[in-house]
Amino acid sequence: MGIQQNGREVDKWGRFELTLKGPSEGNPFQEVQLSARFQYKNLVIEPDGFYDGNGTYRIRFMPDRAGVWRYVTQSNHSDFDGHYGEFLCVEPSAENHGPVRVKDHYLFAYEDGTPYMPFGTTCYHWTHHGDERLEELTLQSLKDSPFNKVRMCLLPTRDMKPPLRLAFAGTCPEDVDKTRFNTEFFAHLEKRIDDLMQLGIEADLVLFHPYDKGFWGVDNMDAESDTFYLRYVIARLSAFRNVWWSLCNEYDFNSFKTVDDWDRLIQFVQHKDPYQHLRSIHNGTKMYKSSWLYDFSKPWITHQSIQHWDAELTTSWREANPKPIVIDEISYEGNSSRRWGNISGEEMTHRFWEAMSRGGFVGHGESFIDKETRAWISSGGKLYGESTERIAFLRKIMEEGPADWMKAWQQRNYGLQYFGHHQHAYKFIDLPENASYHIEIIDTWNMTIIPVKGTFRGPSRVDLPGKPNLALRILKV
């Protein structure tokens, strides 16, 4: 085959895309295998390609080294085998920091070392309804919010009105074809993932969930169909630097699969993803009664994705597994009749502070059912709750402090102590004798910061206003 002429430069952690034309008869999704071998010096990465409909085949690649990359294609079809070429990878733009990685066991950072703290929210099916106006409104709401991660689903649920686009071919349960994919659905999803990237937001993609209950037939697929679906998703989406993989939402509520099945599937994701994006799996919970966490010590899990209502457990989770803790669902602010969807903005704010003061991260959600755009967690739209601006206030405080605020307190360089629902008249703070500190009282609800007069050293009494939802920020002079 001849060399492919591609003169454009690609940013580090950007996307190089090779497009080939070929047959459309039969079922190219199943019958054509396509991949490429990309090489920079001695580094070799081999992503799969995919069929994109109308006789179009693509291979996407995310380079992580600046310099000349060379590639050659491999395929079981003679038209696609042996294409070769090269492109130049250049240093990234200022806003491109690469994929998010785990750092120092409990934290996250972009690949270039820039700290990243997830302040997530949930919009499970905001890309499914075919309402462009609502999607643009969602993006504007996100732009004006503190949220830098969105949890979102790929597969439909039983209770959804039939969406205009499904991941698989077909428009109704009777004609869904799980041997073919709806390329329009994926092209639209990719556009929205790019939109999120432009806003500096990570797309936490939920690959499976238990909410179909056999209606569309996507939560009870056999093992071969599961891996066929995952292979295609990874081939199309893994070259987007802002992607995370959440294998399943409330995995333990899916009666069709066992823990062994989930272990096998998440290891498949680990094996097929050339770029090793963050991977986790999310438990269900019988709210205020019980929950069953996945064993996050397993080596194919990068971080703990937890559903639980009690942020105080962050301390025990941190002690149990040296991996970042993200309470992706801690109940939702709203007025839903469902047990998980009706906490107050004050309670949501409290849970964010409780978890972060203990070294974890929290995900937000809204479930107001009587507003113009209804439940944010389902469709996006507008944010109506009172917690959003308080979460923005918390994010500003956290990003002003050290990236590892827990280690900073162990070293007594910086402290953030939160008192939650307690309303102390005073607190004693154990400070070193050989250093001086300024102390500030933070009202987490009213979003005020009031310096305490003087400096402090050694065991110190700090007088407090005797009200809940207060925190202290302790700054070494």
Return the CATH architecture of domain 3-90. Sandwich (2.60)
* Residue 3: predicted pLDDT: 40
Sorted by sequence, the CB contacts under 8 Å of residue 51 that are 6+ apart come out as 28, 29, 32, 34, 57, 181, 183
Q: Which pLDDT tens digit goes with each residue over 422-473?
A: 999 999 999 999 999 999 999 999 999 999 999 999 999 999 999 999 999 9
Predicted confidence (pLDDT) at residue 4 exceeds the cutoff of 90: no
Which residues make up the CATH 3.20.20.80 domain(s) of the chain? Answer: 100-400
Domain 407-476 has CATH 2.60.40.3950: yes
What are the phi and psi torsion angles at 374 (to 5°)?
55, -145
Helix axes 132-143, 183-198, angle to 10 degrees: 20
Which residues make up the CATH 2.60.40.3950 domain(s) of the chain? Answer: 407-476
d(Cα 237, Cα 8) in Å, to the nearest integer? 21
- Mean pLDDT taken over the chain: 95
Q: 2-6, 157-161, 423-427, 436-440: which has the minimum mean pLDDT?
A: 2-6
100-400: CATH number: 3.20.20.80
Contact 102, 117 (CB under 8 A): no
Average pLDDT over residues 13-33: 96
Q: Which pLDDT tens digit goes with each residue over 30-54?
A: 999 999 999 999 999 999 999 999 9
